[in-house]
Amino acid sequence: MGRLSKEATIRQILVITDGCSNIGDDPIEAAARAHQRGIVVNVVGVVDKGDMGGQGRDEAMSIADAGGGMCRIVHPVDLSATAQMMTHQTMQMTLQQVVNQELLSVMGKTTEELPPAERSRVMQVVDKLEEEVALQLVVAIDMSASMKEKIPTVREAVRDLALSLQVRVGRAQVAVLSFPGQGDAPTKLIQGFAEQVDMQEMEMSLQARGGTPTGPAIDHAVELMMNERLTHRDDIDGPRRDFA
């Protein structure tokens, strides 16, 4: 079996929220649109002194399902580790899907249908690629009024996530946006794609206020990535044929 091009790029959106969207377009539909463009949407629901409620949990899980990603409901103390785990695991999931598509095309089998020795070699390739392919990640942070007490924890979690990605062989770039934005704006871009997170900008920009426009935030994240794709035609977005 060949190998996936190291120049390929995996794209993910990580939504950090503590409740239901109540402004703008349906976030589930926004996540589905993102996934159609080859972008995985993960959701972390942050709870503290209570719970997100059934509606909040259902929405968070439905966003992740529509976006082809994962959903976890956690307390603030677990946010940092959870964000890192989800980012890395969904990279592996994306790569495994591409590998399975290639195996079906070439051999008529998926990884699970291979003999144990061959399956082991395929998984070693996937593990290696997870460290080598490029990653673009947009972290969309819910800054509605109910998130006020969680801001320091969220800020540190984003910093830790960016630092964890720097140890990879492959290039990793992180953009950060908050929702809602300033005035009537549903979102605010805190930082465009960069290899490090500007903690001073995060300190100044993360201010809790207003409602929860989750759908517009996902659409904004997609727009950021689509603008990047105008100059980078190296995406992993489904059953591509990037093997050589």
Q: For residues 165 and 226, what is the distance between their CA atoms, to the nearest angstrom?
A: 22
Mean pLDDT in residue range 38-56: 84
For residue 29, pLDDT beyond 90:
yes
The structure's pTM equals 0.86
Token representation of residue 164: 């964890």
Mean pLDDT in residue range 170-194: 93
The pLDDT value given to residue 238: 45
The pLDDT value given to residue 8: 76
Indicate if the alpha-carbon torsion angle 200, 201, 204, 210 is positive or negative: negative
Query: Which H or E run contains 192?
Result: strand 188-194
Q: How many residues does the chain have?
A: 244
Comparing 240 with 192, the larger pLDDT belongs to 192
Confidence of residue 96 (pLDDT cuts 50, 70, 90): confident
Confidence of residue 95 (pLDDT cuts 50, 70, 90): confident
Q: Is 221 left (phi over 0), alpha (psi -120 to 50) or beta?
A: alpha
Determine whether domain 9-229 maps to CATH 3.40.50.2000.
no
Please report, for the chain, how many H helices and E strands are present, in that order.
Answer: 7, 6
Most confident of 33-42, 45-54, 129-138, 166-175: 33-42
Q: For residues 234 and 244, what is the distance between their CA atoms, to the nearest angstrom?
A: 14
Comparing 103 with 21, the larger pLDDT belongs to 21
For residue 32, pLDDT beyond 90:
yes
The pLDDT value given to residue 239: 35
Beta partners for residue 243, in sequence order: 4
Beta partners for residue 74, in sequence order: 46
Q: What is the mean pLDDT of the chain?
A: 85
Comparing 215 with 233, the larger pLDDT belongs to 215
For residue 230, pLDDT beyond 60:
no
Confidence of residue 120 (pLDDT cuts 50, 70, 90): confident
Comparing 125 with 64, the larger pLDDT belongs to 64
